[in-house]
Amino acid sequence: MEREHFSKQYDTELNDIRSKLLEMGGKVEVMIANSMKSLVERDSELAERTIAFDHEINHLEMEIDERCLEVLARRQPAARDLRFITLALKIVTDLERIGDQCANIAKRARELNTEPPLKPYIDLPRMAQAASVMVKEALDAFVRGDDALAIKVCENDQVVDDLNEQIQRELLTFMLSDPTTISRAIKVNYISKCLERIADHATNVAEMVIFMVKGKDIRHTIA
Amino acid sequence: MYTKVKLENLNVHFGSNHAVRDVSIDFPENSVTAIIGPSGCGKSTVLRSINRMHDLAPAARVTGKILLDDSDIYDKGVDPVSIRRRVGMVFQKPNPFPAMSIYDNVIAGYKLNGRVNRAEADEIVESSLKRVALWDEVKDRLKSNAMELSGGQQQRLCIARTIAVKPEVILMDEPASALDPLSTLKIEELIEELKEKYTIIIVTHNMQQAARVSDITAFFYLGELIECGETRKIFTTPDQKQTEDYITGRFG
């Protein structure tokens, strides 16, 4: 059973950081869903709202950074508390980047919505769904210290990578057969890359969870 | 790394109290090893075994081996005083000899070992006080009473006295816990310098100090050695849950 600190206040401070991270993760998941929705349903107003929503993610990043700094200054955390705080600082950066990628997707969606759709979007929503699940599970793994779940996230990155490659091949075929599709295809390709990057960020978080739980640094070792 | 001091199956009993239980540990030469653990875990008892302080306690019974350079200090025929010349000790409360001057304090231990001429004594006093960064502060009043110094200065004087006899090992029992933060940092800086020439074993209840000052950390609980390893590792990824719970403030 997990023991509590002698200082209840210390436990409260750490739990606050955990909740804020989950809150940030939740908002990021909403952004992923909405950015995809704004594309698939051709809803440019939703795209606008999604782009504006990024401010909330950035605000949470600053808040969590500040709380982590305070814990470092006042509590001199050691061992797993130290790993938790330093990794929370890094995870916040990955989440903030995911927010940026979602805003980028929404911007491209806004542009694509002014032109006829290239084709029905099937693989992109699947990618978005997979990436969103990865983000959620990576954060759950972090907060619970669940390294088994973190490993699962790392393995699922392959699914998103495969979808990305598939989409790129398909778009290439489009562009080669009909040059008038090039402008739209490039934007769709960009969106696919954004989603692939989002999955990579989720994988980063998962790798850090494994380090936090096991004390083993597996970053840059999995091909 | 050469092992300067080695404890093999050390047990210490005070009457029926089994204070130190089957402890085996290596202390590398020219390193600082910190011994940490909650009150009553046996850390001071272990420390005081290494210079045979328990010889002075009638109820104490020490079994097992303590090797200093591969020779058991508890062997029959070994003179404990000779051990204490090689293994010096600094205590929690600075304890300069109250009736003596600064000069006489530094040279006191040296004099006990035999006669020493004036020039030699002067040289020893100066070099010892310089080593503990006290020389500049006291060189013009070497004959004044040692008790006129501040707490931090007194403790540095005690360290100077200890190193004047050129020991090989220095034991420190919470050397800075009676001092203000700045004096504490000065003592820690001194420890960092001293390890070049001496092997240092320090007992401390201040975890951050152990983290700052030591190369190796040993965690004790209820008389047993729970974990011993590189300080860097103990404070970031300890092996034992008990160790982690202690250093993160979840028990102790």
Q: What is the pLDDT of residues A90-129, one digit of tens each?
A: 999 999 999 999 999 999 999 999 999 988 999 999 999 9
Q: Is residue B26 part of a domain?
A: yes
Question: Phi-psi category of B249—alpha, beta or left, where left has phi over 0 and alpha has psi -120 to 50?
Answer: left
Residues of chain A found within 8 Å of residue B244, distances taken between Cβ atoms: 79-80
Q: Is residue B152 part of a domain?
A: no
Please give the residue range of the domain that contains residue B53: 3-96+169-247
Q: Is residue B229 part of a domain?
A: yes
Percent of chain B predicted with pLDDT > 90: 86
Question: For residue A222, what pLDDT is reported?
Answer: 55
Query: Given B236, B245, B247, which is nearest A3 (Cβ)?
Result: B245
Question: For residue A1, what pLDDT is reported?
Answer: 56
Average pLDDT, chain A: 93
d(CA B152, CA B81): 28
Question: For residue B34, what pLDDT is reported?
Answer: 98
Q: Do B248 and A79 touch (CB under 8 A)?
A: yes
d(CA B170, CA B159): 9
In sequence order, what are the beta bridge partners of B3?
B28
Query: Given B236, B245, B251, which is nearest A82 (Cβ)?
Result: B236
Residues 6+ apart with CB under 8 A from B56: none
Residue ranges of alpha helices (H) inside chain B are: 43-49, 80-86, 102-112, 118-131, 135-138, 151-164, 181-194, 207-213, 231-236, 241-247
Residues 6+ apart with CB under 8 A from A113: A38, A39, A42, A43, A44, A47
d(CA B208, CA B189): 14
Higher-pLDDT residue of B180, B7: B7
pLDDT band at B23 (very low <50, low <70, confident <90, very high): very high
Q: Is residue B155 part of a domain?
A: no
Question: For residue B145, what pLDDT is reported?
Answer: 96
Where do the structural domains in chain A lie, given as residue ranges? 8-214
Do strands B216-221 and B60-68 pair parallel, antiparallel, or not at all (unpaired)? Answer: unpaired
State yes or no: pLDDT of B197 exceeds 80. yes
CATH of the domain at B88: 3.40.50.300
Q: Is residue B120 part of a domain?
A: no
State yes or no: pLDDT of A217 exceeds 80. no
Q: What is the mean pLDDT of residues B229-251?
A: 92
d(CA B87, CA B67): 12
Q: What is the mean pLDDT of residues B42-57?
A: 95
**pTM score of the predicted model:** 0.82
Residue of A nearest to B209 (CA): A76
Q: Is the ipTM of this complex over 0.90?
A: no
CB environment B214-229: b (16+ within 10 A), e (fewer): bbbbbbbbebebbbbb
Residues of chain A found within 8 Å of residue B238, distances taken between Cβ atoms: 79
Q: Is residue B45 part of a domain?
A: yes
Higher-pLDDT residue of A172, A222: A172
Question: For residue A189, what pLDDT is reported?
Answer: 96
pLDDT band at A133 (very low <50, low <70, confident <90, very high): very high
d(CA A128, CA A150): 19
Cβ pairs bridging A and B (under 8 Å): 39
d(CA A220, CA B155): 49
- For residue range B127-137, what is the model confidence (pLDDT) as tens digits? 999 999 899 99
Q: What is the mean pLDDT of residues B179-208?
A: 92
Do strands B3-14 and B87-90 pair parallel, antiparallel, or not at all (unpaired)? Answer: unpaired
Average pLDDT, chain B: 94
**CB atoms near residue B55 (< 10 Å):** 16
Q: What is the CATH architecture of A8-214?
A: Up-down Bundle (1.20)
**How many structural domains comprise chain B?**
1
A171 burial level (CB within 10 Å; 0-12, 13-18, 19+): buried
Please tell me whether residue A65 adopts helix, strand or coil conformation.
helix
Q: Which of residues 14-43 of B touch A (CB under 8 A)?
A: none
Give A17→chain B minimum CA distance, Å: 17
Cα dihedral sign, A103-A105-A108-A112: negative
Residue of A nearest to B208 (CA): A76
Give A80→chain B minimum CA distance, Å: 7
Q: Is residue B51 part of a domain?
A: yes
d(CA B199, CA A173): 72
In sequence order, what are the beta bridge partners of B145?
B101
Q: Do A83 and B244 touch (CB under 8 A)?
A: no
d(CA A208, CA A210): 5
Question: Maximum CA pair distance of chain A?
Answer: 69
Question: For residue A213, what pLDDT is reported?
Answer: 83
pLDDT band at B252 (very low <50, low <70, confident <90, very high): low
Percent of chain B predicted with pLDDT > 70: 100
pLDDT band at B196 (very low <50, low <70, confident <90, very high): very high
B56 burial level (CB within 10 Å; 0-12, 13-18, 19+): exposed
State yes or no: pLDDT of A27 exceeds 80. yes
Q: What is the mean pLDDT of residues A62-77?
A: 93
Residues of chain B found within 8 Å of residue A81, distances taken between Cβ atoms: 248
Percent of chain A predicted with pLDDT > 90: 83
Percent of chain A predicted with pLDDT > 70: 98
Q: Do B238 and A81 touch (CB under 8 A)?
A: no
Give A11→chain B minimum CA distance, Å: 10
Question: For residue A223, what pLDDT is reported?
Answer: 46
Give A154→chain B minimum CA distance, Å: 23
d(CA B40, CA B45): 9
